Amino acid sequence: MENSEALALSAALLAAAGDLTQRIHAGVLARGFEGLRPAHGFAFSRIAPDGATVTDLAAHLGVTKQAASQLVDELARKGYVERRPHPEDARARLVVLTGSGWACARAAEEAAAEAVRPWAELLGEQGARALRTALLTVAPGGPVRPTW
């Protein structure tokens, strides 16, 4: 691939990612979840499965432990997460989603589906599946980090 083609591909991927982030964020806000920023959604993606420590979250987001701790404090004040004793490490705390946090995560899933629906309409179902497969081949799992 020539440099100009690589640059065009990079620009298109970054534009799609930025647009997708904003559409999902707007969809979450439209569903009544206030006081959130896109960075919170990236934190939710790490916390949601089974919880995470602040250290895990910092590594996932590519920020310092202090910055991750401040983000967790903010989400806890808003009622989206809570800290619990870690089941395997008495020195650590596990950050988990609350009921409101899980509701917000479901709202983000719905917003994500809405955001990519036009892509499926444009590319067709087969084209959308091929795009997903290709992207999962080059970026198999993250971490999904905010672009700041």
pLDDT of residue 142: 67
pLDDT tens per residue across span 102-135: 999 999 999 999 999 999 999 999 999 999 999 9
CA atoms within 13 A on the CB side of 141: 1
pLDDT tens per residue across span 35-71: 999 989 999 999 988 899 999 999 989 899 999 999 9
Amino acid found at 82:
E
| Residue 88: alpha-carbon gap to chain centroid | 26
Looking at every residue in the chain, the average pLDDT score rounds to: 91
With 90 as the cut, is the pLDDT of residue 139 above it?
no
pLDDT band per the 50, 70, 90 thresholds, residue 146 = low
Question: Which value, to the nearest 10 degrees, does the dihedral of the CA atoms of residues 81, 86, 92, 97 take?
Answer: -10
CB 54 within 8 A of CB 93: yes
pLDDT of residue 9: 92
With 80 as the cut, is the pLDDT of residue 145 above it?
no
pLDDT band per the 50, 70, 90 thresholds, residue 2 = confident
Q: How far apart are CA 11 and CA 15, in angstroms?
A: 6
Q: Tell me phi and psi for residue 141, to 5 degrees.
A: 180, 5
With 70 as the cut, is the pLDDT of residue 143 above it?
no
pTM attached to this predicted model:
0.86
